[in-house]
């Protein structure tokens, strides 16, 4: 397979350090976290403001890449599904998508609400939410 190189443009700083106790989704009690970007990414952040709805794209560096089927949410009472029908971190390219609200910006550090990613998780990208992707909540 063709491959490409992605780079960590920053890291998540979060009180979540333990995979077992981390919430599986942001609406399941995830805490506020900081997105700490690399110094040379500052220019790309210059239009980010508190209140922005953004999608954080992460590299789930503690995930397995060799699973193609699994029990959703690790619940063995549920039948196995193909990984592309689940949001499991375990997948061939362990890319995480996290929709969050920006609550503060301090230089190259961006504070966000309800992020379920673990402390130290590499950040690959940050994108604004488009209007047609806006949540009903």
- Whether the CB-CB separation of 10 and 38 falls below 8 Å is answered with yes
Task: Tell me how far apart the alpha carbons of residues 16 and 119 are, in angstroms, rounded to a whole number.
Answer: 6
Closer to a copy of itself by CB, 16 or 100: give it.
100
- Whether the CB-CB separation of 116 and 73 falls below 8 Å is answered with no
- Classify 84 as helix, strand or coil: helix
Other Cβ atoms within 10 Å of 82 Cβ, number: 10
| 4 contributes a contact to a copy of itself by CB under 8 A | yes
> Binding string to a copy of itself for residues 41 to 80, with x set by CB under 8 A, is what?
x-xxxxxx---x-xx-x-x-x------xx-----------
Give the CB-side neighbour count of residue 107, counting CA atoms within 13 A.
5
| 25 contributes a contact to a copy of itself by CB under 8 A | yes
Pick out residues in 77-136 that bind a copy of itself (CB under 8 A). 81-87, 91-93, 95, 97, 99, 122, 124-128, 130, 132-136
Binding site for a copy of itself (CB under 8 A): 1-9, 25, 27, 38, 41, 43-48, 52, 54-55, 57, 59, 61, 68-69, 81-87, 91-93, 95, 97, 99, 122, 124-128, 130, 132-137
């Amino acid at each position: 397979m063709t491959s490409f190189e992605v780079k960590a443009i920053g890291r998540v700083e979060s009180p979540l350090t333990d995979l077992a106790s981390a919430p599986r989704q942001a609406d399941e009690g995830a805490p506020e976290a900081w997105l700490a970007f690399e110094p040379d990414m500052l220019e790309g952040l210059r239009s980010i403001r508190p209140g922005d709805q953004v999608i954080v794209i992460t590299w789930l560096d503690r995930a397995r890449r060799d699973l193609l089927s699994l029990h959703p949410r690790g619940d063995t009472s549920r039948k196995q599904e193909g990984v592309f029908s689940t949001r499991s971190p375990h997948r061939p390219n362990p890319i995480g998508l996290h929709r969050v609200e920006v609550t503060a910006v301090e230089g190259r550090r961006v504070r966000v609400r309800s992020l379920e990613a673990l402390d130290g998780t590499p950040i690959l990208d940050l994108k604004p939410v488009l209007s047609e992707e806006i949540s009903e909540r």
